[in-house]
Structure 1
């Protein structure tokens, strides 16, 4: 069987679903459960990564330092990962994360703006840190397979020891994933990553397609805990990968227990592929916009589905939350009789 490393961002990406309000007990409890299941990598942080706790995208319940120290103490076997978006996090944030014992550091950039990763990947290399530097290309549906392969090769040259794509809007079908992962796998000689979202109900199928096309690091969250329709459900992903011929090394019963804990302690209810999530996926818009779109649309009396399609037309990306207000105002004014 072909080995695949399962990477679990429940305690980071899941924060989007609860407005970044996970506290110490929840962080510790899930980290211990994932560790007991043999999940290889557990990622923790604010939903938007290191340094992102703010009024603009939401303040976390506890600081980065508290999150990292809590999860580091809880993990006996699993590696700890962190995520950073340039512009939110800084080299100082990376330095502190490494000091807290982060084993994997992911730098996330828009799929065609990989030059933004150069400084931080270079910092990790120059710091001679033990942490393994990865880079993920976000909103990857906005670039062709050839473009993604080119940018993946570029970040490997910058120092990334693994590279891959995020289907940030849950827009892909399996054939889309096969083409993109295949192109990247041919272009680089490091492990390839795939991170799926479930807006169109395709996250597990897309993840299997990624593994079959050459991805060797696949992401999954307990109960799909994440923005909008959520992420690939790890408790489904692992047995499906195993049935498809991939070895994960994860204990199924313990993983199911971890998922039960997550549903009981981390979330009000598991994410669902609701109407707005479907529209988000079709429009190709980051799922993390959901709460702000709903809040601002309700105040202005406009249809949130129209907001998502207009954001998609404007090619909005993560970090451009300020566009939501512009789009809402535009739609409101357009609907007011002259």
Structure 2
């Protein structure tokens, strides 16, 4: 594996409302640097700034402060097309940022291309993140990965946004992406079903060379791959020149970890099992609120099966029904 990227500040920001203080952000960056992590993703890059929530927009002063942290890793920011001007991307190298990660939501590579071009023109490393890959077939993932590479990505990440993949599906999707791409492939796990570690190992075995993780697994939904787990794995199983002590000694994220544990995890488990994205789960939440979990699961399961049957009938392919049933069961 060539890239271990920490997402504590950006993805963990979903847990605490991106309320990291500057001191906390500096401590996290320092910790992952001491561990030996290649890169720390420090937040979303947006034009609209809120001084109380710096990781939500990465204002220049915030980036400059993190760039001044001693023994830090390289810094990365997440770019969502439509939320930031191209001029802002051009300024990033002067603020200590080395990588731009451009979201490819809904497979819209065309929307992402101007941001990729701007980042490359600025001399940044560029990653493109394909979201919700659990909803895509291997052929679709392969085609999207190849298109991202053609658009100028230096690395393409497959994100299990819904937290619904298992190791078999991860292996299939990553292998398809690796086979179609001339650039490295990465994997971004979510832990809704407690499978993030196994899925990350499956991704690496299938040819991925980049993995995301966060301290304590803090992150959206069921959280992310725990940094301490993948670091221990890489040290013990692969002889990686990483350090575990800095994570063990860190206390910066404890409040956020406790907050994540205190939140209702049942929704994360069930949305992961049903392959429902948290950003579009209002219908699921409404069903839970009015009818309870069992009724909500039954309703969505029946809807999924009905959709699969309709699709199979429309194309006259029995194996289509079998494939979709396997994916959602």
Structure 1 length as normaliser, TM-score? Answer: 0.78
Equivalent pair of 1:196/1:219 in contact (CA under 8 Å)? yes
Partner of residue 91 from structure 1, selected from 69, 86, 95 = 86
Question: Does residue 173 in structure 1 map to residue 161 in structure 2?
Answer: no
Q: Which residue does the alignment assign to 1:144? A: 137
Q: Which residue does the alignment assign to 2:100? A: 105
Structure 2 length as normaliser, TM-score? Answer: 0.80
Q: Are the structure 2 counterparts of residues 23 and 183 from structure 1 closer, same or farther at C-alpha, using a change threshold of 3 Å?
A: same
Q: Are the structure 2 counterparts of residues 130 and 25 from structure 1 closer, same or farther at C-alpha, using a change threshold of 3 Å?
A: same
Q: Which residue does the alignment assign to 1:81? A: 76
Equivalent pair of 1:81/1:106 in contact (CA under 8 Å)? yes
Partner of residue 251 from structure 1, selected from 243, 246, 255 = 243
Question: Does residue 278 in structure 1 map to residue 272 in structure 2?
Answer: no
Moved more, 188-197 or 270-279: 270-279
Q: How far does residue 304 in structure 1 lie from its aligned partner after superposition? A: 7.5
Deviations 1:209-250, CA, capped at 9 Å, x for gaps = 0011111110100000101210000101121234443x5432
Q: Which residue does the alignment assign to 2:290? A: 302
Q: Which residue does the alignment assign to 1:192? A: 185
Q: Are the structure 2 counterparts of residues 75 and 312 from structure 1 closer, same or farther at C-alpha, using a change threshold of 3 Å?
A: farther
Partner of residue 38 from structure 2, selected from 31, 37, 40 = 40
CA distance in 2 between counterparts of 1:26 and 1:282 reads 34
Q: How far does residue 82 in structure 1 lie from its aligned partner after superposition? A: 0.6
Aligned pairs for 1:158-237 (under 5 A) are 158-237=151-230
CA distance in 2 between counterparts of 1:121 and 1:25 reads 31
Equivalent pair of 2:47/2:85 in contact (CA under 8 Å)? no
CA distance in 2 between counterparts of 1:84 and 1:75 reads 25
CA distance in 1 between counterparts of 2:298 and 2:27 reads 35
SS at match of 2:107: coil
Equivalent pair of 1:235/1:255 in contact (CA under 8 Å)? yes
Runs of 5+ unmatched residues, structure 2: 305-329
CA RMSD, 1 decimal: 3.1
Equivalent pair of 1:293/1:307 in contact (CA under 8 Å)? no
Equivalent pair of 1:5/1:248 in contact (CA under 8 Å)? no
Deviations 1:275-301, CA, capped at 9 Å, x for gaps = 1111121232334678x889x859x95
Equivalent pair of 2:15/2:260 in contact (CA under 8 Å)? no
Partner of residue 127 from structure 2, selected from 122, 131, 134 = 134
Aligned pairs for 1:6-45 (under 5 A) are 6-45=4-43
Q: How far does residue 113 in structure 1 lie from its aligned partner after superposition? A: 1.9
Q: Are the structure 2 counterparts of residues 175 and 105 from structure 1 closer, same or farther at C-alpha, using a change threshold of 3 Å?
A: same
Moved more, 188-197 or 303-312: 303-312
Q: Are the structure 2 counterparts of residues 210 and 167 from structure 1 closer, same or farther at C-alpha, using a change threshold of 3 Å?
A: same
